[in-house]
Amino acid sequence: MDLQTLLQQFVNALSLGSLYALLAIGYTMVYGVLRLINFAHGDVFMIGGYLAFYGVSLFAMPWWLAACLAVALTTLFGVGLERAAYRPLRDSPRISIMISAIGASFLIENLGIVLFDARPKAFAVPGPFAANHVIGGLHVAAVSLIIPVVTTVLLAILLWIVYRTKTGMAMRAVSTDIEAARLMAIDVDRIVSITFAIGSALAAIGGILWALKYPRLEPLMGIMPGLKCFIAAVVGGIGSIAGAVLGGLLLGVIELMTVAVLPGLTGYKDAFAFILLIAVLLVRPAGLLGKNQGEKV
């Protein structure tokens, strides 16, 4: 294989990895504050894609307006999901809230099938994203360049919120010790809502970018990326934002590079994600950037 193909695949891997990172951040943040794996996160991602689709196709909005509205509505959807399915179970055993998350996931998927129809829909990619550029002999889709840039900007904003604002400080306090945070007058419910809002907004943006890259929408399209991004978050060290980004990028690169280097194994590319999970967890049970901390006694 020549260098050019390798570079070509690397550009693709970078954009796929960035998408994974966007989604993985949502898992890691929710886990950080609530110690909950939000199994419905991949479905929130799907909702984002569909809402943008309907904005353009049904309401004939310009793509940017449809995208903004889709992100806003998906954010509300994510916050509503927490209110309805997770908050009432906050003080129940952790297994109950996990089951509720799995239930919410199935519910959203099946509602999607009923409301959006199970047949795939073609996502009309707007002009600026559909273009192909030739850079130094590489054929690069515009969207593959845009995705990493968008992800970088969003990540910068997120890190600023988490480490430079009072709200972010409260989020970190809640994630270290929810009980003590309450007694420092932090309104934990509000912080949890904000966390879900941020995670869902990122998932929605991820869903729209995904639809631009792979312009085919299905109600079940969130399952596989959701599962992989959960893996990315765990591999990176769940609870750590940097870990989620690292895990996402790593997963994207490994997935596409296997295809590039060993084309015969293309059919198994998803399996590599899971092999990666097992391998990393065997060596570092807390993930690459996770702190190895036992349960508090």
Residues that bind other proteins (CB under 8 A): 161, 165-167, 169-170, 172-173, 176-177, 179-188, 194
The smaller minimum CB distance to other proteins, of residues 104 and 186, is found at 186
Closest distance to other proteins from the beta carbon of 55 (Å): 25
- Please say which residue, 119 or 166, places its beta carbon nearer to other proteins: 166
**Cα separation of 166 and 26, whole Å?**
20
- Kindly give the pairing relationship between strand 138-141 and strand 216-217: unpaired
Q: Which is nearer to other proteins, 2 or 91 (CB)?
A: 91
Contacts (Cβ under 8 Å, ≥6 apart) of 264: none
What gap in Å lies between CA 29 and CA 26, rounded to an integer?
5
- What angle do helix axes 41-57 and 223-236 make, rounded to 10 degrees? 130
Q: Nearer Cβ to other proteins, position 149 or 157?
A: 157
Whether 23 contacts 44, CB under 8 Å: no
Task: State the nearest-atom distance from the C-beta of 173 to other proteins, in Å.
Answer: 5
**Residue with smaller CB distance to other proteins, 188 or 227:** 188
**What distance in Å separates the CA atoms of residue 20 and residue 203, rounded to the nearest whole number?**
10
CB of 194 to other proteins, least distance (A): 8
Cβ of residue 197: shortest distance to other proteins, in angstroms?
A: 10
Query: Which amino acid makes up residue 122?
Result: A
For the purposes of burial, counting CB atoms within 10 Å of the CB of 101, is it exposed (0-12), middle (13-18) or buried (19 or more)? buried
Which CB atom, from 90 or from 269, has the smaller least distance to other proteins? 90
DSSP code at position 35: -
Q: Which helix (H) or strand (E) holds 188?
A: helix 188-213
| Residue closer to other proteins, measured from CB, 9 or 175 | 175
β partners of residue 140: 133
47, two tokens:
């909702």
Q: Minimum Å distance from CB 184 to other proteins?
A: 4
**Which one, 61 or 178, has the nearer CB to other proteins?**
178
**CA atoms 258, 259, 262, 268: torsion sign:** positive
Name the residue with tokens 């990895």. 17
| Whether 50 contacts 112, CB under 8 Å | yes
Strand partners, 139: 134
Helix (H, G, I), strand (E, B) or coil at 284: coil
DSSP state letter for 139 = E
Least distance to other proteins from the beta carbon of 92, Å? 15
